[in-house]
Amino acid sequence: MPQSSPLQPVAITGMGVIGAFGRGVTELDRALSEGREGVGPLTLWESTIQGFPVGQYRGDLQRDLDAIAGLTPRIRARLSRSDALALVAANEAVMMSGLEPSQGGAYVGQSVCGTLTTEELYVEARRRAKAREPEKINLSGAFVHEGANTLDRLAETWGLRGPTLSFMTACSSAANAIGLAADAIRAGRCHSMIAGGSDSLSRIAFNGFCSLKVVSPDGPRPFDRDRQGMMVGEGAGMLVLESLEHARARGAKILALLTGYGHSCDAHHLTAPHPEGKGAIAAMREALAMAGLQPGDIGYINAHGTATLDNDRTEARAISAVFGEGNVPVSSTKRFFGHTLAAAGGVEAVVAVHALQQKKLPPNLGLRAPLEDSRLDLVTGTRETPALRHVLSNSFGFGGNNAALVFTEAI
């Protein structure tokens, strides 16, 4: 149920991000400012459908991991690609915060987890069987398959002794991890949390979305009348959350406040959103109520905006139902890094906080002709917004799992 009065805000003191745009908040800022899209070819494995672009991280992950002080050779030997992405983003967030995080915990949204690694084991096992090779295959890599592996590696690296949980609510996973981590801090279970999401590309995810015929051959064009579909991506976005008292007591720089969180379920269909956007509307209204805000207080919405036919139509209608038509600037940043699945709410939380800090709204890259289902104030180029104080970030997933986060300027 919506809150009758605003809850205590939670401080954001660090953030880290990695994706098709590169590694780190600085590189994300360059991509957003330059309008540099992350659309590119798939190179992680050979595929008969490589004509469809992906949002792939092109950097050297092994070299990126070298910067993490607590990462021992033992931990490195037990990492999937998803784990590595999570650690790189979390390290940036922890370093930015200046926090000694061992007394805190971690909530992480995931879906692909270590699937890419276990797929490679399966492919190799099939090859050996067909070739009648007698050598046994080393299956130790299968230990990284489950989502708990990322949490275990985070806990090992920073000695976390607080609560650790993995969330799998499809593409709203990271947003739920962030919102529920803030709840854990408010409840007094810990004074700090690392929260966000991580997912890598994998065969089953890429092929699965292609088989659903929701992937575009030229990349995503969110909220475009002629949009053809999404682009599967990979990445991680992590925040360091702290109670206000703890952050102020140690003199931390507060980047922004997490003031609102809403979560709902459509209970409608496994893959399609409710056509009237009932769940999305409920999540956004709950987030506003928790923050003690009215729709007119929100200065920007970072939309889920996958560029699929159903998602964009439904989200546009839901936004209009809550905020009115054309009353708030909206953009989807999916063409910068693709749809990073369970990591989407984490990556886009960093985008939302960055917009608050810079007083600049990122563009809805790829737009040619706005959709006609509902009139939105779509941001077509970087927009300066000196008076920006509150932003909302939407994350909607399969099964009708909806989440909305409200971030507020730190004063």
Residue 283's pLDDT is 97
- CA triplet 383, 387, 390: central angle to 5 degrees? 90
Domains of the chain and any CATH numbers: 10-409 (3.40.47.10)
Element (H, E) at 298: none
Query: Which residues lie across from 171 on neighbouring strands?
Result: none
Residue 337's pLDDT is 98
Residue 370's pLDDT is 94
- CA triplet 340, 346, 349: central angle to 5 degrees? 120
Residue 273's pLDDT is 75
The pTM assigned to this predicted structure is 0.95
Q: Which residues are catalytic?
A: 171, 304, 339
Task: Tell me the pLDDT tens digit for each residue of 96-135.
Answer: 999 999 999 999 999 999 999 999 999 989 889 889 888 8
Q: If the chain, 411 residues long, is cut into consecutive pieces of 10 residues, what is the mean pLDDT of each piece?
A: 70 98 98 97 92 96 95 92 98 97 95 94 90 85 88 95 95 97 96 98 96 94 96 98 97 98 86 80 97 98 96 95 95 98 98 98 96 90 97 90 97 78
d(CA 259, CA 256): 9
d(CA 392, CA 96): 23
Residue 1's pLDDT is 44
d(CA 332, CA 355): 13
d(CA 16, CA 305): 22
DSSP letter, residue 362 = P
Identity of the amino acid at 186? R
Residue 205's pLDDT is 95
Tokens 């089953």 — which residue? 204
